[in-house]
């Protein structure tokens, strides 16, 4: 049960991190430089749902006492940093 929650956290953090990179480096330039407003609408919506899913699984790990308070805060901060999913994945995999 614990491994499955940490596995979910790893997978969702990678997906959320990739969606953030796509949003910042592809969709936003398309919107502001190319005038394609729909790019941020689609990618932004997907990223928002993935971020909410990440928060849900992070809370699930907190409830099950799989992560301490420091790790929860660190992972939350890393979730809003581009490429933050890389050190997060390494930290989770090292358990």
Angle between helices 37-63 and 69-78 (to 10 degrees): 170
Tallying the residues shown for the chain, one arrives at: 95
Long-range contacts of residues 75-83, Cβ cutoff 8 Å, at least 24 apart: 75/9, 75/13, 79/13, 79/16, 79/17, 79/51, 79/54, 79/55, 80/20, 82/17, 82/20, 82/21, 82/24, 82/25, 83/17, 83/21
- Per-residue pLDDT tens, the chain, 95 aa: give them: 578 999 999 999 999 999 999 999 999 999 999 999 999 999 999 999 999 999 999 999 999 999 999 999 999 999 999 999 999 999 998 87
User: Which tens digit of pLDDT belongs to each residue from 80-92?
Assistant: 999 999 999 999 9
């Amino acid at each position: 049960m614990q491994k499955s929650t940490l596995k979910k956290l790893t997978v969702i953090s990678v997906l959320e991190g990739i969606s953030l990179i796509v949003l910042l480096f592809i969709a936003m330039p398309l919107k502001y430089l190319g005038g394609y407003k729909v790019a941020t609408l689609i990618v932004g919506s997907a990223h928002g749902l993935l971020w909410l899913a990440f928060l849900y699984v992070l809370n699930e790990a907190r409830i099950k006492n799989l992560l301490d308070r420091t790790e929860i805060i660190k992972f939350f901060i890393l979730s809003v940093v581009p490429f933050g999913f890389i050190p997060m994945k390494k930290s989770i995999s090292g358990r």
